[in-house]
Amino acid sequence: MKTSKVDEDLTYKNIMKMFRETRKDFKESQRRSKETDKQIKETDKQIKETDKQIKETDKMVKETSRQMKETDKKINKLEGFFSSQWGKFIESLVEGDLVKLLNNRNININFTSTSNKLLFQGKEYEFDILAVNADEIVVVEVKTNLKVEDIRWFLDKLTLFRTVFKKYETYQVYGAVAYLKATEAADKFAYRNGLFVIKATGNSAIINNDKEFVPRKF
């Protein structure tokens, strides 16, 4: 079957039209591809910038944390210093009145000593004040701020006193806590556990136990 000239022209025109449309689509695809590639590169750039900012922020956080730790160390050091100085002051204050206070409780003291340290079985033990006569000894723990946990710890330490200080193993041992401030009703807790309760007041010290109080023997 023969094709006419008209049919051939139509076929040619259709092919050229399809070619042009295909070419147009291809160019559009290329444009979109370039745009997508540009967006990918921009996103990658933003990701790298964000990663850089995260690393910088992490570095700043670590530096701030380091500075805070340094500040905490300095604060703790200062607190420890002031606590130690207050402790020494209270210790001196209490020791000055201790003989009179205990004598009034029928424990006639001959001498006192402070900062009594001894190494026993590889562990150092320290008792702030010892008030001694011929056969009795009062062991005093001094605290700026007296808490219940301090008393529990001191009671445990008292049970070992004669074992640690062999020269006093035949003595009758009593316990006392001296303080500037008591929290958690620690002074009452000390009283209930048979300890003398000594409070530093102004330039002197007083025993808060009533006259009916009977000290615990350790």
Per-residue pLDDT of the chain (218 residues; tens, 9 = 90+): 555 666 666 677 777 777 788 878 777 878 887 888 788 888 888 888 888 888 887 777 777 667 666 644 543 443 443 345 555 667 877 888 899 999 999 999 999 999 888 888 888 999 999 999 999 999 999 999 999 999 999 999 999 999 999 999 999 999 999 999 999 999 999 999 999 999 988 778 999 999 999 999 99
> Are 147 and 184 within 8 A, CB to CB?
yes
- What is the DSSP-derived secondary structure letter of residue 104? T
**Alpha helix positions (H), the chain:** 5-103, 148-159, 161-164, 186-192
Residue 36 to residues 40, 49, 59, Cα–Cα distance (Å): 6, 20, 34
* Closest listed residue to residue 137, CA positions, set 99, 175, 103: 175
* Closest listed residue to residue 104, CA positions, set 198, 186, 178, 216: 198
Query: Does domain 90-207 match CATH 3.40.1350.10?
Result: yes
- Domain limits, the chain: 90-207
Chain centroid to CA 173? 35
H/E stretch holding 127 reads: strand 123-132
For the CA atoms of the chain, what is the radius of gyration?
A: 43
